[in-house]
Structure 1
Amino acid sequence: MNTRGQFLSSRLVNDSLISLFVVSTFPPFRISFQLRMWDWFQQYCPWVLQGISMVYGMIVRIRRKAYQREWLRPKHLSRPVVSVGNITVGGTGKTPFVIWLAHQLHAKGQRVAILSRGYGRQDPSKNLMVSDGKGHVKEWRVSGDEPTMIAQHCPWALVAVGPDRFRLGQWVLEQTPCDCFILDDGYQHLSLYRDLDLLLFDATDVKGLCGVLPAGRLREPLDSAKGAAAFIFTRSETLSSIQPVQTCIEKVIGQSINPIVLKMVPKQVRHLVTGEVQPLTFFSQRSLLVVSGIGNPRSFCDILTGCGLEVGEEIRFPDHCAYGQDEANLILEKIGQSDQDIVVTTEKDAVKLREWFSKDDPVWFVTTDLEFLAGEEHILGLLDRAGVV
């Protein structure tokens, strides 16, 4: 077995918390030990994880309450701030939504600055301007994969990464003017005042709302969602598909919500190196090797199978995986050993994989769009009332 990657068939990866942790890393014994320990506690001592969850949940609840009662005061930037966040671990589609939101504000004539922490970058302690709004984008290793992807989709936007979002916003304003800020993954960043809090939920993940870390997948107790201005449900196939998650939220927060419902729509596939574009039907008669290093790999497979494509096998890497030659070799070796002769990956992974493959390698990535099933006018109205546009 490769020392930096571990292959798992999609049939063997369940939807438990383990599947949200990495299934490949380096060195491999470290994550293997962590998974074995977590599995052991789940099986024999679940009360230990539940006890830790109670303490952790109490701490984060007290912290949020301290800001709500103004025992602690958030700091204000001199421009409106819109936060896009979630309260579960695993992906909920924040990056595509940030891109959509930036395009909406740009279309209204706003000079947009996007603030992110830049997970997985080489030096997370420093502020960095990923994009200056003039088409100059920093390399993904120093900026992080998601900020790089956002900058590529929004070449006119300022994109900056840093550990403290308030200081980062001030630093950006010292460099260049802007009209508003988008705070990427900002719901827990309470030290910065937000004019609008947008909270995303995966409509397919009602289990994710059933417990706080480490016993469950919630970053904080579900009742903290009460502070959101809008509830956005992603990965929804129909309006009715959000009902289980919506009901769970409404029961906990004690109020009805006006849902904004989104669907992830795959557009086309592009060759990783050449950029050649093909329709999704190009692979309709092929068995695919699916490669991903994202927070919710199951959702990517669901998108592919929903288009009638056949997912043969998977290689799942950690979210924000810093791909190298070893990972590329693992992918190519797997092609040679299996019936799958086509590799399909995500656009986020493509940012980091491109340099390790050639134009002759059968590696493609899927591009997606957001489609509103409900609530588009509602969210645009919220932006207007918050003074963002």
Structure 2
Amino acid sequence: MQRLIMWFQQHIRNGTLSPALDLALVPFAFAYGVGGRFRSYLYRLGFLKTRSLSCPVISVGNLTVGGTGKTPLVIALAQWLHNQGKRVGVVSRGYGRNDEKQILLVSDGKKILLDSQKAGDEPILIATRCPGIPVIVGTNRYAAGRQLLSQFLCDVLILDDGFQHLALKRDANLLLVDEESRFGNGYLLPRGPLREPSIGIERATALIVTRASSTKNSVIAQLCTSASLEMPIAISNFFLAGFVNLRTGELLSPEALSGKRCIAFCGIANPNSFSSMLEGAGVTIHEFLSFSDHWRYTSEDLQTIWNSTEGCSPKLVITTEKDAVKICHRLPASLEVVAARMELEWKEGQESLEEHLMYAVNQG
């Protein structure tokens, strides 16, 4: 089933579905769109309630499924707010965990309390990268937020992947758009990658363009014309900050693996961005193994990866930090396994975005 989902996700993202399958998905996409609009009307008319928490909420989300860089942005915002002296908490759904009905504390800010199977890979990564910040998971983000606030004093909560979660009021609603993939083929799920029509951009209080190679490009012009002129628009990209040795925890420089051959693997929504980043760092990829987003690695999967290193000397395996949290306790002694650490950098609009966020936190 995982491999069928992976195949389907790749074709949806690349727009390579066969004409017959594309046609067959039209009624399902139509029904999905009708259901989404009806749900929005119910919230707008008050039949479904939007509830507030006792502290400001900053939501980070997108209009498409996966791959826009929400997790690196959540990490960057949490670290920035923490450095500004704010007491920060993070609320996430915890996609892909064993029991998504439970509300579970992932980290108390001092210690990570769960593994990726119980918490989900992204919450574990956020907790790992954000010491001092409690992280909780729950499908009901309002209930999860209340539980977190009952245990910790927080000045602000960051809602991970919350743009469509209309049940919780937010004081800042950040919408991410990937400069490379944008809105895909423009169709709703399951015919395309859109979770809702692009008109949903109107709910955003700020736009963040990710993976932008330049501050002058067409997607930014499109967003400026479709969004409120009063809305901050920030331009960002991701850069390789280094490689984490999964056995020792040592952070190697971005240049440390230049000229080396490796096996690379990942289970993320945008695998091409990962392989391109490695090539940009001067790493020669002997073999690249791509899995579906949030992939749960079986023993057979890992054995296939480890066996692929036979043509490499030294035997080097590189993955993402998101994947690393799922395999870090299952490493063979004979291999060097590292995770690429990606961080966010601002190209334009950082100051206006930070002013927007601080206003939301202080006025919320």
Establish whether TM, by shorter chain, passes 0.5.
yes
Q: How far did residue 253 of structure 1 move?
A: 5.5
Corresponding letter in the other structure for 1:295: A
Question: Matched residues in 2 for 1:197 and 1:150: separation?
Answer: 19
1:216 lines up with 2:173 in the alignment: no
Match of 2:355 in 1: 381
Match of 2:27 in 1: 51
Q: In structure 1, list runs of 5 or more residues that go unmatched.
A: 21-37
Does the 8 Å contact 2:244/2:251 carry over to 1?
A: yes
Match of 1:26 in 2: none
Question: Greater CA deviation, 169-178 or 363-372?
Answer: 169-178
1:86 lines up with 2:62 in the alignment: yes
Q: How far did residue 252 of structure 1 move?
A: 5.3
Q: 1:244 aligns with which of 218, 223, 226?
A: 218
Q: 1:308 aligns with which of 272, 282, 286?
A: 282
1:192 lines up with 2:187 in the alignment: no
1:17 lines up with 2:32 in the alignment: no
Question: Matched residues in 2 for 1:18 and 1:101: separation?
Answer: 27
Change (3 A) 1:90 1:19: farther
Question: Matched residues in 2 for 1:99 and 1:45: separation?
Answer: 38
Match of 1:234 in 2: 210
Question: Greater CA deviation, 287-296 or 74-83?
Answer: 287-296
Does the 8 Å contact 1:288/1:312 carry over to 2?
A: yes
Question: Greater CA deviation, 127-136 or 111-120?
Answer: 127-136
Match of 1:160 in 2: 136
Corresponding letter in the other structure for 1:59: G
Match of 1:367 in 2: 341
Question: Matched residues in 2 for 1:321 and 1:278: separation?
Answer: 26
1:201 lines up with 2:177 in the alignment: yes
SS in 2 for 1:245: helix
Q: How far did residue 328 of structure 1 move?
A: 1.6
Match of 2:93 in 1: 117
Match of 1:175 in 2: 151
Q: In structure 2, list runs of 5 or more residues that go unmatched.
A: none
SS in 1 for 2:265: strand
- Note the alpha carbon deviations across 1:207-228, whole angstroms, 9 max, x for none: 5261111111111101111110
Does the 8 Å contact 1:88/1:209 carry over to 2?
A: no
Question: Matched residues in 2 for 1:124 and 1:153: separation?
Answer: 23
Does the 8 Å contact 2:259/2:282 carry over to 1?
A: no
Corresponding letter in the other structure for 2:83: A
Corresponding letter in the other structure for 1:182: I
Q: Cα RMSD (Å) of the superposition?
A: 2.9
Aligned pairs, number: 362
Q: How far did residue 106 of structure 1 move?
A: 1.2
Match of 1:64 in 2: 40
Q: How far did residue 323 of structure 1 move?
A: 2.3
Question: Matched residues in 2 for 1:282 and 1:173: separation?
Answer: 42
Question: Matched residues in 1 for 2:344 and 2:270: separation?
Answer: 17
Change (3 A) 1:188 1:314: same
Does the 8 Å contact 2:239/2:345 carry over to 1?
A: yes
